[in-house]
Chains A and B, each alone.
Chain A
Amino acid sequence: MAEGPGAAPPPHGCPGTSSAQAGRAAACQGCPSQGLCAAGGPAASDPAIEEIKEKMKIVKHKILVLSGKGGVGKSTFSAHLAHGLAKDETKQIALLDIDICGPSIPKIMGIEGEQVHQSGSGWSPVYVEENLCVMSVGFLLSGPDDAVIWRGPKKNGMIKQFLRDVDWGEIDYLIVDTPPGTSDEHLSIVQYLSSSHIDGAVIITTPQEISLQDVRKEINFCHKVKLPIIGVVENMSGFVCPKCKIESQIFPPTTGGAEKMCQNLNISLLGKVPLDPQIGNCDQGQCFFSEIPESPATSSYRNIIQRIQEYCALHHSQEKLSNQGME
């Protein structure tokens, strides 16, 4: 950061805004941001983190779906990752929407207007199928025009409640859909899950540089908070005209697209999903695995989901091994 208060360079030895020491370390003395950092986040001593750890013990895999950029398909991807994983009826899937100001998941999953019920063991999520449940702030609003005009602390409180107070039960995969950016929601989900293992993040982008520049920021965020990256999905890459079958680049990969970025940053590209108008119109609860099974976009989705399953299985067994080694 350059000149000007509020944008002052961090002092030498700055613990970072996401650290438990933010605003409290010796280096913070005299820093103009000290007050803000100290007040900013939930303290590491927040008892909720331990409670969440207990709750998450019976959640096998946790996957975050991230992107620095909005409107690239995070929620569509999260929803279909959930649908795809739920095809295996022996697995329990949970989808958590932490986009507090723009919750799209209820609409995409076709459960808009559903309500969350309170029981002795907490809030019950909304079930789409027997083995697929969803939680979103959308279920807590009184109507489709109801806006959540909240600053950070209130959003953080909501995310804490979603993790601690929802009766998730035994879950094989918890998928977390996030809003764009690298701010409160992102810091909070990573902090609240800091004592429970997160498998990693799937990062969604579109091919053009305008999108990639935000996505590179998100990748830096992952490095900063030590969140493993499962891989990158390039969405809306190319469009085949349904009439003449010629492909056009609507969002041109002027700097080489996600492929080049992944090479440069040494992270895996999980796949590219072409623009299919049937997907763009699939936003009222239809699942395109059953609606449009033949579309190239659908088969690309299938491959990506398989790679994510393989990643999670591999890391799970590695973790088990290393735990056994420690005993």
Chain B
Amino acid sequence: MEAVGERGNLARVGHILLVLSGKGGVGKSTVSTELALALRHAGKKVGILDVDLCGPSIPQMLKVQGKGVHQCDSGWVPVFVDQDKSISLMSIGFLLEKPDDAVVWRGPKKNALIKQFISDVTWGDLDFLIVDTPPGTSDEHISTVESLRPYKPLGAVLVTTPQAVSIGDVRRELMFCKKTGLRVIGIVENMSGFVCPHCLECTNLFSKGGGEELARHAGVPFLGCVPLDPQLTQSLEEGRDFIQEFPKSSAFPALAHIAQQILDRTF
């Protein structure tokens, strides 16, 4: 046995980042997945912890749905996404009997599982652990931040879409970070603009610029705009490695740039 010490299963995890948003469906899981793929591309070992218990999306996005989690002496073994074992994932999706089973749980039960996810998963050596969260500022978030506090997370990446309704929810999430003492690494604006593949006209489906303005207003870094890109949505549906396969697509430079900024911050 290697020395696990006080940090237990997280002893050999380099940096922990949380992906948050007050709003649902803005691309938290997309950003978590693509960030993991981009960091892997840069030669890093990455773990993803999916604490969205009612709507886990990451297993589908990494094409590992239906895989099982095994138990060993020191805890749960996460699911490895590739042969090199460079990305590992833990999600409630692996614990469900049937994929469409609803997890109809109130707070206390969700909190108990999150605590277990944080203490009992045998991540081993990781450069980054990315924690993907559900929307809101409630049980899952409070429990995750409280349980991770001893491990001093690097901070949170906040994801928003450009329109006012989404920005409003993300402002509340910023307040959550402030109140819980979680550092904000920066804001990502997702779904900003769609370039028609036929005529190259760019339409701002959900308006534009809200994320950058919010970052300026809140005095936190703006990490970039990710455009709506059908190649990206398609890759996520099919669980393909977008970073590897579509370096020429419109969303690629934005995602690569976000990953680079996180790498720059850690070395």
Contacts and interface: CB of A to CB of B under 8 A. Distances in A.
Contact of B55 (A40, A69, A239): A69
Interface string A42-86: 000000000000000000000000001111100100000000000
B233 A217 contact: no
A323 interface: no
Interface string A197-219: 00000000010111101101111
Contacts of B179: 147, 149
Most buried by A among B60, B179, B237: B237
Interface stretch (A99-107, A125-133, A159-167, A305-313): A99-107
Given A3-B71, A181-B55, A241-B196, A277 B104 contact: no
Interface stretch (B37-45, B204-212, B246-254): B204-212
Interface stretch (A114-122, A168-176, A245-253, A314-322): A245-253
Given A101-B136, A152-B139, A224 B102 contact: yes
Contacts of B102: 68, 182, 217-218, 220-221, 224
Interface in A1-42: 1-7, 16-18, 33, 36-37, 39-41
Interface in A233-255: 239, 241-244, 246, 248-252, 254
A210 B237 contact: yes
A187 interface: yes
B201 A243 contact: yes
Nearest to A184: B106
A208 B39 CA distance: 26
Q: Is the interface of A mostly helix, strand, loop or mixed?
A: loop
A148 interface: yes
Contacts of B99: 213, 216
Contacts of B110: 183
Interface residues of B, number: 79
A263 B120 CA distance: 41
A280 B206 contact: yes
Q: How large is the interface on A (under 10, 10 to 19, 20 to 34, 35 or more residues)?
A: 35 or more
B109 interface: yes
B199 A102 contact: no
Contact of B172 (A17, A101, A248): A101
Nearest to B141: A149
B185 interface: no
B142 interface: yes
Nearest to B139: A151
B107 interface: yes
B51 to A, nearest CB: 12
A316 to B, nearest CB: 28
A41 B168 contact: no
A269 interface: no
Contact of B116 (A6, A108, A244): A6
Interface in B154-187: 161, 163-166, 168-169, 171-176, 179-180
Contacts of B25: 69-72, 180, 206, 211
Interface of A: 1-7, 16-18, 33, 36-37, 39-41, 68-72, 75, 100-102, 104, 107-108, 144-153, 155, 179-184, 186-187, 206, 208-211, 213-214, 216-221, 224-225, 239, 241-244, 246, 248-252, 254, 275, 277, 280-281, 283-284
Nearest 9 A/B pairs, CB to CB: A70-B24, A71-B25, A152-B107, A181-B54, A101-B136, A244-B199, A147-B172, A243-B201, A214-B55
26 contacts: A5-B116, A39-B108, A70-B23, A70-B134, A71-B25, A101-B172, A144-B171, A180-B25, A180-B134, A180-B135, A181-B55, A181-B134, A183-B53, A183-B104, A183-B106, A183-B139, A217-B101, A217-B102, A220-B101, A246-B199, A248-B198, A249-B230, A252-B233, A254-B234, A280-B205, A281-B206
